[in-house]
A = this chain, B = another copy of it.
Amino acid sequence: MAKGFQTLKGFRDFYPDECDARNYVFNVWRTVAKRYGFVEYEGPILEPTELYKKKSGDEIVTQLFCFEDKGGRDVSMRPELTPTLARMAAARQRDFKKPLRWFSIGQFFRYEKHQKGRGREFYQFNCDILGEENVGADAELAALSIDIMRELGFTSDDFRLRISDREAWTTFAAKAGVSEEQTGEFLQIIDKMERTKPEDFEKALGQFGLTPADIDGFISSGPEASNTLKSITADLTARGLGEFLEVDLRIVRGLAYYTGAVFEIFDIGKGMRAVAGGGRYDQLLKVIGGVDMPACGFAMGDMVITDLVRESEKPNELLEAGIAESQSIDVFVIIADEEKRAEASKVIQDLRNAGQRTAFSMAPAKVGKQFQNAEQMGAKFAAIIGAEFPEVSLKNLGDRSEITCQADELTGKLEKNR
- Chain A residues at the B interface, C-beta cutoff of 8 Å: 1-3, 5-9, 11-16, 19-20, 22-23, 34-37, 39-48, 50-51, 54, 65, 67-71, 73, 75, 77, 83-84, 87-88, 91-92, 97, 99, 101-102, 104, 107, 109, 111, 121, 129, 132-134, 136-137, 139-140, 143, 147, 234-235, 238-241, 286-290, 326-327, 329, 332, 341-343, 345-346, 348-349, 352, 355-359, 362-363, 373, 376-377
**Are B43 and A13 in contact (CB-based, < 8 A)?**
yes
Question: Which residues of chain B have C-beta atoms less than 8 A from A352's C-beta?
Answer: 35-36, 147
Given A2-B287, A147-B352, A363-B134: A44 and B345 interface contact (C-beta under 8 Å): no
Q: How many copies does the complex hold?
A: 2
Shortest Cβ distance from A132 into B: residue: B362
- Looking at the assembled complex, report how far the CB atom of A210 sits from the nearest CB atom of chain B, in whole angstroms: 35
Knowing that A1-B290, A5-B288, A37-B377 touch, tell me 6 more A-B residue pairs with CB under 8 angstroms. A3-B290, A5-B50, A13-B43, A16-B41, A67-B68, A132-B363
Contact A241 B349 (CB under 8 A): yes
Q: Complex: how many Å from CA A330 to CA B395?
A: 40
| Cα distance, A222 to B290, chains bound together (Å) | 63
A77 proximity list for chain B (CB < 8 A): 45-46, 77
**A45 pairs with B3, CB closer than 8 A:** no
Residue from the list B35, B65, B363 in contact with A136, Cβ < 8 A:
B363
Tell me the interface secondary structure of chain A in the complex. mixed
Shortest CB–CB separation between residue A296 and chain B, in angstroms?
10
Cβ-neighbour of A342 out of B14, B36, B238 (below 8 A): B238
Contact call B40/A19, Cβ cutoff below 8 A: yes
B109 touches A46 (CB 8 A): yes
Chain B residues within an 8 Å CB radius of A11: 44-46
Q: Which residue of B lies closest to A66 (CB)?
A: B67
A19 contact from B3, B42, B241, Cβ within 8 A:
B42
User: Measured between C-beta atoms, what is the minimum distance from A175 to chain B in Å?
Assistant: 29
**A92 surroundings in chain B (CB, below 8 A):** 15
Q: How far is the CA of A327 from the CA of B343 in the complex (A)?
A: 43
Q: Tell me, in angstroms, the Cα distance from A62 to B385 when the chains sit together.
A: 53
* Chain B nearest Cβ from A346, distance in angstroms: 6
Inter-chain CA distance A7–B84, complex, in Å, is: 9
Chain B residue nearest to A355 (CB atoms) is: B35
Task: Contact check, A47 vs B111: say whether CB atoms are below 8 A apart.
Answer: no
Q: Which residues of B contact A20 (CB under 8 A)?
A: 39-40
Q: Which residues of chain B have C-beta atoms less than 8 A from A359's C-beta?
A: 36-37, 101
A5, A51, A286 — most chain B CB neighbours (10 Å) = A5
Q: Which residues of B contact A235 (CB under 8 A)?
A: 345
Kindly report which residue of chain B lies nearest to residue A329, judged by CB atoms. Answer: B37
Q: Taking CB as reference atom, which chain B residue is nearest A37?
A: B359
- Complex formed: what's the CA distance from A109 to B77 in Å? 12
Q: Complex: how many Å from CA A376 to CA B95?
A: 12
Which of B37, B234, B287 interacts with A358 by CB under 8 Å?
B37
List chain B residues, Cβ under 8 A from A104.
19
- B-side contacts of A234, CB under 8 Å: 342
The 10 closest A-B pairs by CB, nearest first: A37-B359, A136-B362, A67-B67, A134-B363, A11-B44, A238-B342, A238-B345, A14-B42, A16-B39, A239-B349
Instruction: List 9 interface pairs A-B (beta carbons < 8 Å), by A numbering.
Output: A1-B286, A2-B54, A8-B73, A12-B44, A13-B44, A15-B41, A134-B363, A238-B343, A240-B349
Which of B37, B83, B349 contacts A357, CB < 8 Å? B37
